[in-house]
């Protein structure tokens, strides 16, 4: 029987979404079981907190400044090297099912291969693998964009297409529209049958592909669920799972308005300006939604909807794992589970994401359950790691050398191995230029239980601001130590380390081709 790698990603999922990470709402027994049998990482960070840059990092094993996808709307170059390409060249079967997003979704003139494939129904690029994948069947958030799921919905369930929130409608007020019981932004009650929802569809497509493999095929399957990214519109038949009125407010949401706004004022100035509605710095949240309008009921309902989606993902993954078991592939299959970035989900009085480097967006779930025949001892790794390390890990699993063009290194399977590798830091960066002319640039280093962020000169920042968080003393990241004189030497040391280890920016920055 051939070897396999099942790479499972969600979109915009918090660290505490999972029971194995202390989550108290969603029931995630399948992922929790993988964590119990494998390695759970306590401090995994993305190299960028939005979709396209982060997904490019996962595919290439490169920092943002190396692969060049510096913000959403910048397509990964067609000739970029990928780990899927390496595996394909080594004779592995390769497939991606669900959300890819290496290229922009808004593409009315079909300039990009992913959208050409989704529009035509093709599963490869004119008979050739696309980015190293033999087969791609793509989905987004509902039947939005030129994806295979939309074609399937139009053929099988056209009456339910209008039940999804219109996430790609960027017109004046539609994208900030409220729904549900609380009027929460981008919440909608959706009558789509569960079996037709994109979570189960993605699992179905992967299972069908797995059944097409020969017994001795080596294979790499990227199972890429579009949820729990907004909009929050799971099947209404599943709303009973998490009644929103029964939920406590999340610990990260300061219910007292004075306390909430004082904590925002302690951060860099673009935090409060977004909260008040005077600044729109990116496309990662509805342009005309004002965070200060968020109510406690809306926080609870968004929280509930996201956790309903988390449960559906866990169950869909369980079906894929059962299919592998039925085929006798379990013993030779490594399973890696993570997400591309986090979600505020009420923390700091905010929703969605953006240029805000705190645990809500940066601390990610990451579980690696090595194939049982590798006899890896289950455990927890507290040392910092990054999504940049995933592609080198896949090389290690496949017995391939890690190429020089990858910036990361294989994930450790134990705390001892993490120490031997010298795991000390993980880096995250953000650059954005909004069409309105607003620029935000920040870089972050996490090391020794501290998170240090510097802001470069931009529309909102004069280049002197920053944030310094002590995760042990202040896990909710409300007390900014940037100007604390007793921490100045530590801050300066972290900044020097950041400057020494972050790759240089490329001289020719890639163009933004589309908003998303």
Q: How many residues does the chain have?
A: 516
Residue 493 falls within a domain, yes or no? no
CA distances from 503 to 80, 421, 500 (A): 17, 20, 8
Residue 347 falls within a domain, yes or no? yes
User: Domains in the chain: how many in total?
Assistant: 1
Whether the CA torsion 458, 460, 461, 465 is positive or negative: it is negative
Q: How far is CA 153 from the centre of its chain?
A: 25
CA dihedral 315, 319, 320, 326 (to 10 degrees): 150
Give the list of residues 6+ apart from residue 57 with CB closer than 8 angstroms, or none.
Answer: 46, 47, 48, 63, 64, 67, 386, 387, 388
Residue 500 falls within a domain, yes or no? no
pLDDT for residue 18 is more than 80: yes
Q: Beta strands 366-369 and 39-41: pairing type? A: antiparallel
pLDDT at position 70: 96
What is the pTM assigned to this prediction? 0.97
CATH number at residue 207: 3.40.720.10
Residue 516 falls within a domain, yes or no? no
Confidence band for 364, pLDDT divided at 50, 70 and 90 = very high
**Interatomic CA distance for residues 261 and 295, integer angstroms:** 14
Confidence band for 44, pLDDT divided at 50, 70 and 90 = very high
pLDDT for residue 271 is more than 90: yes
For residue 290, the enclosing domain spans 4-424
Residue 109 falls within a domain, yes or no? yes
Contact 376, 335 (CB under 8 A): no
Residue 454 falls within a domain, yes or no? no
pLDDT at position 170: 59
Residue 507 falls within a domain, yes or no? no
**Interatomic CA distance for residues 422 and 401, integer angstroms:** 20
Spell 472-501 as b/e; 16+ CB within 10 A means b.
Answer: eeeebbbebbbeeeebeebbeebbebbeee
DSSP tag of 288: T
pLDDT at position 276: 96
pLDDT at position 462: 95
Residue 436 falls within a domain, yes or no? no
Question: What average pLDDT does range 461-485 have in this prediction?
Answer: 97
For residue 164, which of 148, 142, 196, 147 has the smallest C-alpha distance?
142
Q: What is the pLDDT of residues 298-343, one digit of tens each?
A: 999 999 999 999 999 999 999 999 999 999 999 999 999 999 999 9
């Amino acid at each position: 029987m051939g070897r396999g790698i099942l790479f499972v990603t969600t979109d915009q999922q918090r660290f505490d979404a999972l029971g194995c990470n202390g989550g108290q709402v969603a029931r995630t027994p399948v992922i929790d079981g993988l964590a119990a049998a494998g390695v759970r990482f306590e401090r995994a960070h993305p190299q960028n907190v939005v979709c396209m840059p982060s997904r490019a990092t996962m595919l290439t094993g490169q920092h943002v400044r190396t692969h060049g996808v510096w913000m959403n709307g910048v397509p990964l170059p067609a000739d970029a090297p990928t780990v899927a390409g390496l595996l394909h060249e080594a004779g592995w079967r390769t497939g991606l099912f669900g959300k890819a997003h290496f290229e922009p979704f808004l593409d009315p003139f079909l300039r990009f291969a992913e959208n050409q494939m989704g529009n035509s129904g093709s599963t490869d690029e004119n008979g050739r693998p696309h980015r190293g994948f033999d087969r791609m069947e793509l989905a987004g958030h509902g039947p939005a964009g030129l994806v295979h799921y939309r074609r399937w919905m139009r053929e099988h369930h056209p009456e339910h297409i209008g039940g999804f929130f219109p996430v790609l409608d960027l017109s004046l007020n539609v994208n900030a529209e409220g729904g549900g019981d609380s009027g929460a932004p981008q919440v909608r009650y959706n009558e789509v049958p569960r079996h037709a929802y994109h979570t189960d569809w993605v699992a179905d497509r992967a299972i069908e592909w797995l059944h097409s493999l020969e017994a001795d095929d080596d294979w790499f399957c990227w199972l890429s669920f579009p949820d729990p990214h907004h909009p929050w519109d799971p099947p209404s038949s599943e709303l009973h799972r998490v009644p929103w009125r029964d939920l406590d407010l999340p610990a990260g949401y300061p219910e007292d308005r004075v306390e909430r706004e004082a904590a925002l004022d302690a951060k860099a100035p673009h935090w409060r300006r977004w909260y008040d509605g005077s600044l729109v710095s990116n496309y990662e949240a509805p342009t005309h939604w004002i965070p200060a309008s968020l109510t406690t009921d809306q926080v609870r309902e968004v929280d509930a909807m996201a956790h309903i989606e988390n449960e559906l993902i866990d169950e869909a993954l369980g079906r894929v794992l059962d299919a592998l078991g039925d085929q006798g592939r379990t013993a030779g299959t490594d399973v890696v589970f993570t997400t591309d970035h986090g979600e505020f989900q009420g923390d700091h009085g905010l929703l969605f994401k953006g240029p805000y480097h705190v645990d809500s967006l940066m601390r990610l779930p990451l579980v690696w359950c090595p194939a049982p025949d590798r006899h890896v001892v289950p455990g927890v790794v507290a040392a910092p790691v990054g999504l940049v390390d995933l592609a080198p890990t896949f090389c290690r699993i496949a017995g391939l050398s890690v190429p020089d063009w990858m910036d990361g290194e294989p994930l450790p399977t134990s705390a001892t191995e993490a120490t031997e590798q010298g795991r000390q830091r993980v880096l995250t960066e953000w650059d954005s230029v909004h069409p309105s002319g607003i620029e935000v640039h920040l870089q972050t280093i996490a090391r020794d239980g501290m998170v240090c962020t510097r802001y470069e000169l931009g529309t909102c920042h004069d280049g002197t601001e920053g944030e310094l968080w002590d995760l042990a003393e202040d896990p909710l990241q409300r007390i900014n130590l940037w100007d604390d004189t007793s921490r100045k030497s530590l801050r300066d040391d972290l900044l020097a380390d950041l400057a020494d280890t972050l790759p240089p920016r490329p001289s020719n920055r890639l163009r933004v081709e589309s908003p998303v």
